[in-house]
Chains A and B, each alone.
Chain A
Amino acid sequence: MYPFEYRRASTLEQALRMSADLAPAAFLAGGTTLYDLMKLGVERPVTVIDVNRIPELSHLRLSRSALVIGSGVRMSDLADAREVRESFPIIREALLAGATAQIRNMASIGGNLLQRTRCTYFRGTHPCNKRVPGSGCSAREGIDEGQAVLGGSEHCTAVYPGDLATALLALDAAVDVLGPDGARSLALADLHRAPGDRPEQDHTLRPGELITAVRVPATRMRQAYTKLRPRESYSFAWASAAVTLSLHPDTATIEQSRVVLGGLATRPWRVRAVEDWLHGRPLVEAVALEAGRLALRDAEAGRHKAFRIDLGTRAVADALLRAGEQHE
Chain B
Amino acid sequence: MQIKVTVNAEPTLMDVDPRESLLDVLRERLQLTGTKKGCDHGHCGACTVHLDGRRVLSCLTPAVQADDTTVATIEGIEGIEGPDGELHPLQEAFVRNDALQCGYCTPGQIMSALACVAEGNAGSDEDIREFMSGNLCRCGAYVGIVAAIRSYAAGQP
Contacts and interface: CB of A to CB of B under 8 A. Distances in A.
Interface of A: 1, 3-6, 8, 28, 30-32, 35-36, 39-40, 48, 50, 52, 76, 99-103, 105-106, 232-234
B133 A103 contact: no
Given A6-B62, A30-B60, A76-B54, 17 more contacts: A6-B1, A6-B64, A28-B62, A28-B65, A35-B62, A39-B40, A52-B65, A99-B134, A100-B45, A100-B133, A100-B134, A101-B119, A101-B132, A103-B60, A103-B134, A105-B56, A106-B56
B151 interface: no
Interface in B30-83: 40-42, 45, 48, 54-57, 60-62, 64-65
Contact of B55 (A4, A8, A105): A105
B134 A101 contact: yes
Contact of A102 (B21, B40, B48): B48
Most buried by A among B41, B60, B62, B112: B60
Interface string B103-147: 000000000100110010100000001111110000000000000
B41 A36 contact: yes
Interface residues of B, number: 29
Contacts of B132: 101
A50 B133 contact: no
A105 B49 CA distance: 12
B65 A101 contact: no
A39 B41 contact: yes
Contact of A233 (B19, B21, B112, B129): B129
A184 B50 CA distance: 37
Contacts of B112: 101-102
B154 to A, nearest CB: 20
B55 A31 contact: no
Contacts of A36: 41-42, 60
Given A35-B62, A233-B133, A3 B19 contact: yes
A102 B19 contact: no
Given A36-B41, A101-B119, A106-B56, A31 B61 contact: yes
Contact of B62 (A5, A31, A40, A76): A31
B62 A234 contact: no
B42 A101 contact: no
Contacts of B116: 101
B18 interface: yes
Interface string B84-107: 000000000000000000000000
A129 B134 CA distance: 31
Nearest to B1: A6
